[in-house]
Amino acid sequence: MDRTLLLGLDGATFSILDPLMRDGTMPFLRQLAAGGARAELLSTLNPLTPPAWVSMTTGRSPGHHGVFDFIWAEERQGQVYFTLNTFRDIMCETIWSLVSRQQGTVCALNFPILSPPPTVAGVIVPGLVSWRHLRRNIHPRGAFERLQAIPGFDPKAMAWDFDLEKQVETGVPEDQYEQFITFHIRRERQWFEVLRTLMRDRPADLTAIVFDGVDKLQHIGWRFLDPACAPAAPSEWERRLRALCLDYFRQLDGFLADIVSLAGPNARVFIASDHGFGPTRDVFRLNTWLHSRGYLTWKDVNTADEKAKESITRLIERHFVLLEWDRTTAYARTTTSNGIYIRVANRLGETGVPAADYPRFRDQLSAELRSIRHPVTGRPIIRDVLPREAAFPGRQNGRAPDLTLVLWDHGFASIRDRSPIICPRPVVEGTHYPEGVFLAAGPGIRSGADLGQLSILDVAPCLLRSLGVPVPEDLEGQVPGGLFDAVFSAARPTERGVPTLAPATAGVPDEASALTVEEEETVFRQLRALGYIE
Amino acid sequence: MPPRTQPDKAAILEAVVAILQDITRDWEVAYSGGITAKSRLVADLGFESIDIVELVVALEERFQTRTLPFDRLLMNEGRYVDEVVVSDLVDFLSTHLATA
């Protein structure tokens, strides 16, 4: 297989990267972009990390792969019962097992929804995993000990910090901004060192990593990064914060340069983001609005006893919505889905909207949402309201919200019980926009090609074509015309392959799991001898 | 396909303790006496909510099922419980693995 790199930059957008390439902060990226192809990369409908990365690495849309949010939830015992999405919730085959089945090897670092890790030929260190569970979630088992031998390796500094990430939603106190950014610089270096070690120890056909500090910095530091938001006379603190943000991107550029150099001149490089980014200026409190229209009733916390109050306070802090279910017909569950769930009474005695009335109810709610106006500008607050089947067509859309909203500034709607319904944010913040980035370079990539806009679903076909793996016929994206030059296209025409396998049957044999690195090498040698892998 | 054998309580306890030992291996928790049926996940082992989620995944993987109604263990009258004792977890698994 042709060696291929996927360098993921979570939330990267050209509106930030282009100025940084021009002003010399990211010289390597500038050089790579100039010598390769570029495109805007359109994310999933709700441009959110889990569904978007899963779409990129399966080539399937959320309605098919079944991941719509960080968590999934069901109503149980009169409460919303949450659990995190895991790899087992992805209902489509990923490129990791596709490449493994085609006798290739993979190395995938920091991708979300990759735990518990699948059994593949290669190494997986998943993202979105606390340091407390990192050892157990690395494939193959035993590889963690190899990582521990890396000088300076610190799982606490590298793995997902749930408390810190919660701050991105609730707001990082300004006096902790510098600490937050510095933490992410150190964190990216940890991932880089792990990747560098693995690339030297066991070079893979497909090497992929996500640097997610881009997203974190842009959430809190948009106003320091976006030239359009820059204050005319920045304070000393603002100047320092901007310098720190630029330092993050400068170091990131260095990591990218070293990774590409390590992969060698024959490697093909793809840089992609799961979604773009842009400014958000207003808070829209969706559940407060639903309450004002009679769709939702908050639970009265004051009637609870002291012990219950403590529990309720903790739940509210963890972003749970506490509702009187028998007086609620529609509500938003999470701060990240921009989705409304409608409570349907399917059986006698259940509360909610009668099943027969569901279409009319949903249409009416949708129309009311569309009519909400900004109190100052008078413009619609909501760009679009999409029913489940239109937002996420596919057999796995049962977990998707009944209605998905696109807000006017692409912000995420608040679900908390606060007033007013719409108000300006204290400062401009960054939020997820649909338009991410795609860059490609290396042998056979057309130099200087501007491919316009691609879909996030096109990335997997591009990677497979680069590797020389037939693109399964059920992948929804395609290899864009004009990405590869005439010589490459003639030598290796696009080849469509048989459909992907169901996740339960994909992957390499179980013998490769739960082994030490040395044991795994032995298994690989045996598999090679049997002709299963090269 | 042969019918799955139902593990007895002692086997379940052994499996649960092994999983908990594996999970807490790197936690630097000062808990003397080892993990037993009497151990409390939060007070003794230092579990947080995210750790419970990981434990559920590990148990589902170990017992090869995703249909266990963990909400019945983790919620009481619509509220999340503050503590789970290992023996409660073993009882729960013993009851529900039979019908999973």
pLDDT single digits (tens) B42-88: 999 999 888 998 999 999 999 988 889 998 898 887 677 889 999 99
For chain B, give every domain's residue range.
9-97
Q: Give, as one character, the DSSP assignment of residue A285.
A: B
- A348 and A250 housed in the same domain: no
Pairing of strands A71-76, A330-331: unpaired
Test the B interface: residue of A77, A90, A307 with most B CBs within 10 Å: A77
Nearest to B71 by CA among B44, B35, B96: B96
pLDDT in tens, A111-147: 999 999 999 999 999 999 999 999 999 999 889 999 9
B22 neighbourhood in chain A, CB within 8 Å: 136
What residues have CB less than 8 Å from A392, skipping those under 6 apart? A45, A61, A62, A63, A68, A400, A404
- A314 and A246 housed in the same domain: no
pLDDT in tens, A199-238: 999 899 999 999 999 999 999 999 999 988 888 899 999 9
- C-alpha A263: how far from chain center: 25
* pLDDT (mean) for A401-411: 97
- What pLDDT, on the 0 to 100 scale, is given for residue A60? 98
- A229 and A258 housed in the same domain: yes
- A392 and A472 housed in the same domain: no
Q: Among the three residues A363, A397, A420, which one is the final residue of a domain in this structure? A: A420
Coil, strand or helix at A482: coil
Residue A309 has pLDDT above 90, yes or no: no
What residues have CB less than 8 Å from A355, skipping those under 6 apart? A344, A345, A346
pLDDT in tens, A350-393: 889 999 999 999 999 999 999 999 999 999 999 999 999 999 99
- A414 and A328 housed in the same domain: yes
What residues have CB less than 8 Å from B77, skipping those under 6 apart? A77, A78
d(CA A130, CA B46): 14
Q: Which domain holds residue A263?
A: 4-280+432-526
- What pLDDT, on the 0 to 100 scale, is given for residue A314? 58
d(CA A451, CA A37): 7
What residues have CB less than 8 Å from B35, skipping those under 6 apart? B17, B20, B21, B24, B45, B86
What's the number of domains chain A is made of?
2
User: Dihedrals φ, ψ of A117, to 5°?
Assistant: -70, 145
Residue A243 has pLDDT above 60, yes or no: yes
Residues of B with CB under 8 A from a CB of A: 22-23, 25-27, 49-51, 53-54, 56-58, 61, 66, 71, 74-75, 77-80, 82
CB A422 within 8 A of CB A447: no
Angle (CA) A120-A115-A499 rounded to 5° is 50
Residue A155 has pLDDT above 90, yes or no: yes
E strand segments, A257-369: 268-272, 276-284, 330-331, 339-342, 344-345, 353-354
CB A466 within 8 A of CB A485: no
Q: Which two tokens stand for residue A215?
A: 């997203």
- A142 and A167 housed in the same domain: yes
Q: Is residue A427 part of a domain?
A: no
A162 neighbourhood in chain B, CB within 8 Å: 50
User: A83–B50: do the CB atoms touch at under 8 Å?
Assistant: no
Q: Which two tokens stand for residue A301?
A: 């916390």
Point out which residues pair with A185 in neighbouring strands. none
CB A524 within 8 A of CB A121: yes
Q: Is residue A65 part of a domain?
A: yes
Summary mean pLDDT of chain A: 90
- The CATH number of the structural domain formed by B9-97 is 1.10.1200.10
Distances (CA, A) of B54 to A71, A78, A135: 13, 24, 12
- What pLDDT, on the 0 to 100 scale, is given for residue A513? 38
User: A135–B77: do the CB atoms touch at under 8 Å?
Assistant: no
d(CA A114, CA A86): 7
Name the minimum distance, in Å, from the CA of B87 to any CA of chain A: 23
Point out which residues pair with A439 in neighbouring strands. A38, A271
B58 neighbourhood in chain A, CB within 8 Å: 136
- What pLDDT, on the 0 to 100 scale, is given for residue A34? 96
B54 neighbourhood in chain A, CB within 8 Å: 130, 132-133, 136
Of chain A, the percentage scoring pLDDT greater than 90 comes to: 76
User: Dihedrals φ, ψ of A272, to 5°?
Assistant: -145, 150
Q: Is residue A426 part of a domain?
A: no
E strand segments, A299-368: 330-331, 339-342, 344-345, 353-354
* pLDDT (mean) for A89-102: 96
pLDDT in tens, A463-514: 999 999 999 999 999 999 999 999 999 998 888 899 999 886 665 544 333 3
B49 neighbourhood in chain A, CB within 8 Å: 318
Residues of A with CB under 8 A from a CB of B: 76-79, 81, 83-84, 86, 88, 115-116, 130-136, 155, 162, 308, 311, 315, 318
Q: Is residue A531 part of a domain?
A: no
CB A86 within 8 A of CB A133: no
Determine which of A213-227, A321-335, A418-432, A445-459 has the lowest per-residue pLDDT on average. A321-335
- A453 and A374 housed in the same domain: no
Q: Searching chain A, which residue's CA lies closest to the CA of residue B53? A: A83
User: B26–A81: do the CB atoms touch at under 8 Å?
Assistant: no
* pLDDT (mean) for A452-463: 98
User: How far is it between the farthest Cα atoms of chain B?
Assistant: 45
Residue A48 has pLDDT above 90, yes or no: yes
Of chain B, the percentage scoring pLDDT greater than 70 comes to: 93
Q: Is residue A533 part of a domain?
A: no
Q: Among the three residues A391, A420, A449, which one is the final residue of a domain in this structure? A: A420
Coil, strand or helix at A512: helix
Q: Is residue A425 part of a domain?
A: no
Nearest to A208 by CA among A97, A87, A86, A125: A125
How many A/B residue pairs have CB atoms within 8 Å?
Answer: 53
Give A311's pLDDT tier (boundaries 50, 70, 90): low
- A125 and A40 housed in the same domain: yes
User: Dihedrals φ, ψ of A344, to 5°?
Assistant: -105, 135
**Helix H or strand E encompassing B15:** helix B9-23
What residues have CB less than 8 Å from A477, skipping those under 6 apart? A59, A454, A455, A456, A457, A458, A459, A460, A461
Pairing of strands A276-284, A422-433: antiparallel
B69 preceded by cis ω (within 30°)? no
- A361 and A273 housed in the same domain: no
- A274 and A290 housed in the same domain: no
Give a three-class secondary structure readout of A408-454. CCCCCCECCCCCCCEEEEEEEEEEEECEEEEEEECCCECCCCEEEEE
Q: How far apart are the first and last CA of chain B?
A: 16
Give A527's pLDDT tier (boundaries 50, 70, 90): very low
**Helix H or strand E encompassing A38:** strand A37-42
CB A498 within 8 A of CB A93: no
B53 neighbourhood in chain A, CB within 8 Å: 83-84
Q: Is residue A212 part of a domain?
A: yes
Residue B2 has pLDDT above 80, yes or no: no
d(CA B72, CA B92): 9
- A213 and A83 housed in the same domain: yes
Test the B interface: residue of A75, A133, A160 with most B CBs within 10 Å: A133
Q: Is residue A534 part of a domain?
A: no
Give A347's pLDDT tier (boundaries 50, 70, 90): confident
User: B23–A133: do the CB atoms touch at under 8 Å?
Assistant: yes
Point out which residues pair with A80 in neighbouring strands. A75
Q: Among the three residues A393, A420, A447, which one is the final residue of a domain in this structure? A: A420
- A351 and A438 housed in the same domain: no
- C-alpha A388: how far from chain center: 20
Q: How many CA atoms lie within 13 A of A206 on its CB side?
A: 31
Angle (CA) A401-A162-A118 rounded to 5° is 70
B61 neighbourhood in chain A, CB within 8 Å: 116
- What pLDDT, on the 0 to 100 scale, is given for residue A525? 44
Reduced DSSP (H G I as helix, E B as strand, rest coil) percent helix, strand, coil of chain A, to 5:
40, 20, 35
- What pLDDT, on the 0 to 100 scale, is given for residue A54? 98
